[in-house]
Chain A
C-alpha cells in the first residue's frame, strides 16, 4: 500500500480503537456493548494489518497472543458467572454487585464487567479468525 494509505490507517486506527472502548464501556446505557465494541477494536487491528501488509508484523506470534487472550477472557466471564453461586441469591449468573442509580456510568452491577470481558473476547476472537485465514493464505502461496 502507498504511504498515504498507511499514514491514514495509522491515524484512524487509534480513533476506531477508542470508539470501540467507548461503545464497550457504555454497553449498559446505550445500544451496543461487548460484541459491537469488540468488533470495532478488532477492526482497528485489522485495518493496520491490511494497510501495512501481513509481512510487516510477526503474525504467528500475534495469533498465539490473541487466541490466548480469547481463552482467558472467556474463562473470566465464566468465573464471574460461577461466582454467583456463592454470593447473594446463590444462582448462576447472579448479578451480585450493587446496581446503583439508573443512567450512570457505574451502575447495573456486574453487567459492565461482563461487557468489558466480552469485548476483549470478541476482539481477540475476530482477530484470531482473521489472522488464521491470513496464515492459511500465506501457506498456499509458499
Chain B
C-alpha cells in the first residue's frame, strides 16, 4: 500500500493554494513552480505508463468489508494512465508557454492558481474510482475553467463565460441526477461495485433512461454536436494557453474519458446505446467541420474543428461498441478503440499546438481576423512552420500522427463493414484539409503591408510550439506494433476486459 498515486491530486492542489500566499511577495514564484511541478508529474506518469502499473488505492485505509468497497478509491489502469500522461504533458508545455504570454493580463498569480486547480480537478476525474468523487473533481476543474475563460474580463470573455456556465451547470445537474438514479438502483457509488451489480440485474427501462441522461450530461461537457453551443464561444474567447488546455485536454478528460470509462467499465451497453453514440460521433464529425469552413476568426475555426475531431474519437469508440455489442470479432473492436484513443492523444497534441500558434499570432498582431492577417510566414518562421505541421497533422497528411490514427479508425470501420462511416470519415478529412489550407493561406502567406515589422515570439512561447511539433511527428511511432503494445494496448485491454477493472478494485 505504499503507492504514490494520490500525489497526482495533492501536488497541483497544494501548488494552487501556495501560489496566492507566496505570490504576495514575488510574481516569479508562480511562473517557475507551475512548469516544474507539471514536469515532475509528467515524468512520474510516463514512468508509470512504461512500467505498466495497475492498482487501486484506498484513501484513509477504509478497506472493503465483505468485498464491498466502503471508502474512496483511486484507480489507476492503462486507460487512466494514458490520459494522465496527456494532461501533465500538455499542462507543462502550456504553462511554460504562458510565461511570456500571460504578461499582458493583470493578475498572473490568479491565472496560475486556477490553472493548477484545473489540472488537479482533471487528474481527480481520471483517477477517481467512484461516481460522486468523479462529480466533485469534475466540478472543481470546470469551475476553474469558467474563471479562466472570463480571465480577460472583456465583453466577449464575460458573455462566453456566462453562456458556458449556464450550459455547464445544466450538464452538472444532469450528471448529478443520473448519479442519484444509479444510487437509487444499486445503493452504491463505486464504479466497479455498480458494474458487478448491474451484471446480475436485467436491462430495465430506468437503466436505459439513466444511460441517456449520462450521455446528455457528459455530451454537454464534451461538446458533442447537439450540445456544442458553448464551445466555439468559450474556446475562442479564453486566453490562448487556456484555449489550448480546454480544447486539448479538458473536454477529453471530463467528457470523453468519463463517457468511455462509464460505458465500458460500468454499464453493459446495448446495441441501441452503441448506435446512439456512433450517430452522435458521426454528426459531430460532419457538422463540426462544415461549420468550421465559414469562420473568419482563427480561434473559432479551431474550436469548430475541435468538435469535428472529437467526433472522430467518439466515432471510433462507437464502432468498437457496435462490434462488441453485436458479438463481432474482438480484434476489430480493439482496432477501432485503439485508433480512437490514438486519435485522442494526437488531437490534444496538435490542437494544443494550433491554439498556441493562434495565441502567438494574436500576441504579435492583436487580431484574430483572417481577412486582416496575411504574410506572417516571412517574419514569424517558427510559428508558421509549427502551425503548418499541426495543420498537416490534423488533416491527415502521411508522415504526421493524425494520418495514422484516422487511418486506423477508417480501417476498423471498413473491417466492421460500416462502409458509409468510412467514406464519411475520408470526406471529412478532406474538408478538414480544405479549411486548414484556407487558414494557412490567409494567415501566413500572401502579402500584407501592415505586418512588415512583426518579430518572432519570445523563446518560452516558441519552445513549447517546437516541442509539440516534434511530438506531432514523433507520435507516429505509436503506429508501430511493438511500441503500441506498451502504450495503447494496455489502455484498450483495460477497457475491453471489464473484469480486469473490477478485480483491481474488489480483490
Residue positions of A touching B, CB distance < 8 A: 67-68, 71-72, 74-75, 78, 81-82, 84, 89-95
Contact = CB atoms under 8 A, between A and B. Distances in A.
A89 B21 contact: no
B21 A68 contact: yes
B25 interface: no
Contact of A91 (B1, B13, B14, B20): B1
Contacts of A81: 10
Given A89-B1, A90-B2, A91-B59, A71 B13 contact: no
15 contacts: A71-B17, A71-B18, A71-B20, A75-B14, A75-B17, A78-B10, A78-B13, A89-B1, A89-B61, A90-B1, A91-B59, A92-B6, A93-B59, A93-B60, A94-B61
Given A89-B1, A89-B61, A91-B60, A67 B17 contact: no
B58 interface: yes
Interface in B1-60: 1-2, 6, 10, 13-14, 17-18, 20-21, 24, 57-60
Contacts of B14: 75, 78
B60 A74 contact: no
Contacts of B6: 92
A72 B60 contact: no
A126 to B, nearest CB: 15
Given A71-B18, A71-B20, A89-B61, 13 more contacts: A67-B20, A71-B21, A72-B21, A75-B17, A75-B18, A78-B13, A78-B14, A90-B2, A92-B10, A92-B59, A93-B59, A93-B60, A95-B60
Contacts of B1: 89-91
Interface of B: 1-2, 6, 10, 13-14, 17-18, 20-21, 24, 57-61
A87 B13 CA distance: 22
CB-CB nearest 5 A-B residue pairs: A93-B60, A92-B6, A91-B61, A89-B61, A71-B17
Contacts of A82: 10
Contacts of B10: 78, 81-82, 92
A92 B17 contact: no
Contacts of A78: 10, 13-14, 17
A61 to B, nearest CB: 13
A92 B61 CA distance: 8
A46 B95 CA distance: 37
Nearest to B71: A93
B58 A91 contact: yes
Contacts of A93: 59-60
A81 B1 CA distance: 16
A74 B61 contact: no
B153 to A, nearest CB: 11
A95 B59 CA distance: 10
A27 to B, nearest CB: 17
Nearest to B2: A90
Contacts of A84: 60
A75 B10 CA distance: 10
Nearest to A73: B17
A16 B24 CA distance: 32
A123 to B, nearest CB: 16
Nearest to B113: A71
B58 A74 contact: no
A94 B60 contact: yes
B428 to A, nearest CB: 45
Contacts of A95: 60-61
A119 to B, nearest CB: 17
Contacts of A67: 20
